[in-house]
Structure 1
């Protein structure tokens, strides 16, 4: 696109915005380049939180426009109009309709796709009619040019009455010009784009008087959306109900009439400023590619192949850095313990540093998963995936975007739940978050490995089908079926006012911008470390204290008893230390709790020793193996064959083998369904901004685990 003259900036008499730090909101249609522009303006200087009172993400960042002028950039969720269809779109109206909000913007920057300007201008005209200072960031001018769309930018600026900045946000083109405009004190447009019908004016005047509004269009929005706006009292709603009933106001009809009128005005504007010479080769190529990637057979095969590669990468690539983190934490602990001694050292090494290790070890998986998700989103392929999967997933109370968290949950529920943010509908998102932990994650593998080796014989069928492998596959399949049918159950229980729509616009295929991918990875990792990490470390310390201390002289008595038994059996130094650790764990607060809960878990076939393992593995499922090693005096050796041989020799009070197939399968089923992961609960708390969901999750999954383990034990007994 060729721009012959520099757009004239519309500004007021004062040269700069008065506030020391200006608040600038970014708003635009989905796939209009808003995120790319936000990243260009803020770089890594971003913060993710929640809008006050809601669970929708709020992304803010700071942009240094000049050496002396700083702006706070607020990235609002993508939307097509000011009539919201979902919770995340509703936060836009909550913000823009409340001048007393701490985030109310001094300026609104509207991103618009230059190749589809007609659709994008609907939102722009609504914002302009709210009498907000607005700038139009005319993005994707390179795409428009490729599609034969030529825009007369100076003419468009005159027609709209606001600054129009041609841009390519992905490459940073036009960002400098936008920053110059953002420092100006801009005026709101004078002439409205939508003429409000005269018969509505008396009713709107009453609304303006009651709520002290200066804009007719804002009063009209109050009439449309007052039931969903924050800050409306019961008396205000009753007053609006009566007013709208008396004036026979029909919201749906008025919205339809407004939309038709706005598009008529937009068409008049575009006739004068846009010329189309459409020889769109890229669109033909995109359509041909879509015929393959969204094919009813090949599309699914391609998608599951990509998922398989992602899944393999998460396991294969993450294992090396995870091992390094594990070794680094263990090395640091060993270094401290070799040079210092005392209870504070134990607290630091076995509580704080071990807790930090439990947080850091997830970082490689989170980084790799979100790197792939960011690449798929940047290229435009993710939109096709959600379109394909929507029809299938919707039958179970989910939608197309739920498939990524569910499949990712096989690697780790923590990044999987974080990836559910892409689901716009509140009900679908909550159901997805709720059922994702039922997918068998990698942390269950050590538990499965020990128990399967313990109770399942290593037999082969047809020369290649391993019985132990079949059992492992069955456990994964059971987890998937539990997630799907739990979603179906929750679909009937969970009520939401908003209906679940699935309107998907396919963005053009394009190469990913690696800067955006990198920023996404850093943002997600930071959110996990600084939000969920705090809870994980705190609870890890609490669990360490419970397992390391006991009431009165119990610990010392346990030590003396273990030493006496070790001397009688002529145990070596290592075996003696293991015996002391086992006896002291039994005498600890955790051991006391284990004894206390034994009557509850006895119907499942478990004793107090397994009860301690269930409690300590609540920090993370894989802790089960280490606890079993300690409680049965195996020591720090966690080799599967070593643990298997030791556990096979355990007997019950009658002298019979303790770990029977019934107990083994019962334990497998319990760990399959139980919420034995502090990390997951912490991230659910962070993602839902409430303790209600993680506590409901804990109750549901624990109850399901108990019932299914009970049935399993008695079926196999």
Structure 2
């Protein structure tokens, strides 16, 4: 019996070299079968998010310590009901499982199944079993099954299936230890066959099998069904299969339907021996009772908006204290360093590196609170209800009910939100969703919104708890949502298709959130913000400091002489003289020259050359705007301890009035609400639409909308 996971050296407790291959374990299961909970339990914080090779579908991998001497790479695959994919997201599974040369081809598959709905879950299991890959069945949510009166004879089920079956409750970690031990042992592909290929198709199947050197007939049959979706096949390979199908008059749809019926016949017979319902539920389920309120045609929407309102109030109110501590701490650290050290390198450290770092760290509390709410809504099962409620609204604006998921996800980040549109089958609905998703205010805009709102919206409370700034923040998110809907409604008249779209979603039962999973989500998102966006912010902050501290030729020296002369002429104090020198030197720097170059284009919106620099640098990532402003206003600042908000509040215009007045503030807010988010968004739209047409149209539309709207707001308020 071949060993799949352990080498002889590992069995003896000998550490393997780093060059040796780590075993790969794939997690596959139906949506809402507890796959994510199981992945989190197995990997903890050892997770990594990326894309599958050649596609932009989100790939989560992690390292699991199966035994003290053995680790395995866990691959979390998209949820699916069958090996016949209906979306691009699900197609990733067959692309991986049918290609033994794939770097993610698994040594073992752990199939997660909802024990309370075993019949539906076993359809996917039987298909995977026929592929001949070693399997383990993780019988998850046993507690839910017991609540529903479902009793499963696990030994009998294991005997009938011919593979190990582990009863589990992944949310609580029950069964994880047994699963790890089993996954580390010798496992061979002794799977039972559940489907007999029709005699009429055997000649075709065998030809494909031997041509591609496949290990079994069922895999060859799937090559016949799915060859157009398999990216690893060459054009010649696909042409060969297509010719065979025509020659053999292969009817894929009919054969798929027949196969599904036969599989369910086998499953029904199998479950007669191992599953019993010992009590019928006469009372309405708690979830159904709750759904009558939470999905009500009136109260459902009111409750949803109340949840949103609470979330945005929390982002402002709860995060304000840790943000103030971080901001003050960064300012105090800069002041302490300047007290004891001086010189260009010290300025680079304080005004470039530490100021940029402060622009990253200060928003961690808000990012953490936002994703805590999102994780809790998903964990409890409420997010699925939100998508159901919004379906009717979406259709009126030319969108599919499934468009709600990307739009809501867009409140976190547009990149994974656009990737998630792969679950939308209808081409028109998918294109419209991709086009309008960046109008949703992502978490990267929170730093901009919070700083500008704090400058132009007074911190007032109504009824003792309603924060006016929190209301303004919610208003920005609603503005983006309304803009997305109106843009979708306009776009539906330009895109024509005969496809009909459907919205089908399974409601998970309501559950208490698993706080470990919520915590993992918060840590994962904060890490992504700090290490991904943070790298960009830090790099740009350092570049900006250099560009703002040096200028062409003798420009900086001449600026200092001019400033000193003007200060003497006006009889300014020493502090005012220093500020005058810093201001003129900044204007004469490389950054100042660049800002002045683009100033004529942005002046109609009320912006000066300093904001112009921030507008351009923030195209790399929206969060960079605040870091850029912090760096620009740190260069030559007299009071190092001043916070970012204080520095911006102290800025004056040519008339000596506060520069960031309501007109400029709201103009900036509107600009960033509508402007194309970042380079990453354009890149992912290009990859998802496979061309430059859509990203270019999207960038032109959103930039034009942002410019005209910001100009109109500034003209109206000034």
Provide the C-alpha distance between the structure 2 equivalents of 1:282 and 1:539, rounded to a whole number of angstroms. 61
Shift in alpha-carbon separation, 1:450–1:362, aligned structure 2, 3 A: closer
Tell me the secondary structure at the aligned position of residue 60 of structure 1: strand
Q: Deviations 1:2-29 (Å, cap 9, x if unpaired)? A: xxxxxxxxxx476964486321111111
Q: Indicate conservation of the 8 Å contact 1:532/1:686, yes or no.
A: no
For residues 242-321 of structure 1, the aligned pairs below 5 Å read 242-280=243-281, 284-321=285-322
Provide the C-alpha distance between the structure 1 equivalents of 2:695 and 2:359, rounded to a whole number of angstroms. 19
Deviation at 1:362, TM superposition (A): 2.4
* Structure 2 partner of 1:443: 448
For residues 473-488 of structure 1, the aligned pairs below 5 Å read 478-488=479-489
How high is the TM-score relative to the length of structure 1? Answer: 0.83
Deviation at 1:265, TM superposition (A): 0.9
My pick for the range that moved more, 523-532 or 112-121, is: 523-532
Provide the C-alpha distance between the structure 2 equivalents of 1:174 and 1:469, rounded to a whole number of angstroms. 44
Shift in alpha-carbon separation, 1:543–1:402, aligned structure 2, 3 A: farther
Provide the C-alpha distance between the structure 1 equivalents of 2:409 and 2:572, rounded to a whole number of angstroms. 47
Tell me the secondary structure at the aligned position of residue 173 of structure 1: coil
Provide the C-alpha distance between the structure 1 equivalents of 2:364 and 2:418, rounded to a whole number of angstroms. 18
For residues 432-511 of structure 1, the aligned pairs below 5 Å read 433-437=437-441, 441=446, 443-444=448-449, 446-447=451-452, 478-488=479-489, 502-511=503-512
Tell me the secondary structure at the aligned position of residue 23 of structure 2: strand
How high is the TM-score relative to the length of structure 2? Answer: 0.83
Shift in alpha-carbon separation, 1:642–1:205, aligned structure 2, 3 A: closer
Provide the C-alpha distance between the structure 1 equivalents of 2:38 and 2:681, rounded to a whole number of angstroms. 28
* Structure 2 partner of 1:374: 375
* Structure 2 partner of 1:517: 518
Q: Deviations 1:606-665 (Å, cap 9, x if unpaired)? A: 6656645655776645579779979999986988999699538269xxxxx999999887
Pair 1:568 & 2:569 matched = yes
Provide the C-alpha distance between the structure 1 equivalents of 2:361 and 2:686, rounded to a whole number of angstroms. 22
Pair 1:34 & 2:38 matched = no
Q: Deviations 1:388-442 (Å, cap 9, x if unpaired)? A: 1122234446555765876787xxx656866777766263774464222489856
For residues 97-496 of structure 1, the aligned pairs below 5 Å read 97-189=98-190, 191-280=192-281, 284-396=285-397, 425=423, 427=430, 430-431=434-435, 433-437=437-441, 441=446, 443-444=448-449, 446-447=451-452, 478-488=479-489
Shift in alpha-carbon separation, 1:608–1:528, aligned structure 2, 3 A: closer
* Structure 2 partner of 1:528: 529
Structure 2: any 5+ residue segments left out of the alignment?
Answer: 8-19, 425-429, 459-467
Give the counterpart of 1:647 among 647, 650, 653: 653
Tell me the secondary structure at the aligned position of residue 647 of structure 1: coil
Q: What is the RMSD of the two structures over their aligned residues, measured on CA atoms? A: 4.1
My pick for the range that moved more, 492-501 or 543-552, is: 492-501
Q: Indicate conservation of the 8 Å contact 2:4/2:107, yes or no.
A: no
Number of matched pairs: 682
Deviation at 1:597, TM superposition (A): 2.0
Q: Indicate conservation of the 8 Å contact 1:650/1:659, yes or no.
A: no
Shift in alpha-carbon separation, 1:699–1:378, aligned structure 2, 3 A: same
* Structure 1 partner of 2:13: none
Provide the C-alpha distance between the structure 2 equivalents of 1:480 and 1:633, rounded to a whole number of angstroms. 39
Q: Indicate conservation of the 8 Å contact 1:555/1:584, yes or no.
A: yes
Provide the C-alpha distance between the structure 2 equivalents of 1:541 and 1:344, rounded to a whole number of angstroms. 12
Tell me the secondary structure at the aligned position of residue 70 of structure 1: strand
My pick for the range that moved more, 554-563 or 176-185, is: 176-185
Shift in alpha-carbon separation, 1:468–1:188, aligned structure 2, 3 A: closer
Q: Deviations 1:50-95 (Å, cap 9, x if unpaired)? A: 2122222222222222222222221112111111122321211111
